[in-house]
Amino acid sequence: MSLTQSWKPQSVEELALYWISCHAKARKSMSSIRRDLGMLRKYILPTFGPSVVGALDTAEIELWISDIKRYSNLAPKSCNDILGLLRKIYNDGIHWGFVDKNPIARIRKFVLPEQDFSFWKHEEVNQFLGYWKQKEVRPVSFFGVLIALHTGLRRGEILGLRWDAIDFDTGMISVKRSFCRIEKRNREQTKSKRIRRIPLSVSQPCR
């Protein structure tokens, strides 16, 4: 007899802990697991932890997430992340045969405001590079900014770069690692778990 046939979670907390043990720990990074646990402990379990796993009501959950947004001053994206975590836990609960339906499935996400970005002008880029190119000793951050300007890589991907990811013959960078600030080590995969290849925009190293 399988585990799911002999045991089923009775409460939302039991389902959430089972999800952490059987799904998250096998498929997610330590930083992502810590983030999920933080959302569970602070927002989800204090309200729904003791609730019967199959008895959650959609209207009740919608009121709960609306109150979080209203009274906690969380950004809409953070509220969507909390709701998305609970939705994922219930979707996997259906997959495992623990529950018959997902009470979060019909709850709509909060609309995210459009973000505006500030980009360096060409003059600002040239000013930054020109200043440090005149110096015999440059800070490590200079090279990180230089790589970012030429590739658009994320900070963790830049910190995770190693020489074996750079092919000067083909002029390509293979983005296959990322640095995790929480674990303080390289992860042998990127955030998307895919290898991206980016062309080098300069043929000679910076001198």
Q: What pLDDT, on the 0 to 100 scale, is given for residue 1?
A: 39
At residue 94, φ and ψ (nearest 5 deg) are -65, -45
Tens of pLDDT, residue by residue over 128-171, are 888 888 888 888 888 888 888 888 888 888 888 888 888 888 88
Q: How many CB atoms lie within 10 A of CB 178?
A: 22
Tens digit of each residue's pLDDT (9 = 90 or more) over 61-110: 999 999 999 999 899 999 999 999 999 999 999 999 999 999 999 999 99
Tokens of 13: 């907390």
- Residue 119 main-chain phi, psi, to 5 deg: -110, 150
Q: What are the pLDDT digits (tens) for 6-20?
A: 789 999 999 999 999
Under the banding of pLDDT at 50, 70 and 90, the label for residue 201 is low
Cα–Cα dist 188/184, whole Å: 13
What structural domains does the chain harbor? 3-95 (1.10.150.130), 122-199 (no CATH)
- Helix ranges, 96-176 (H): 122-133, 140-151, 155-159
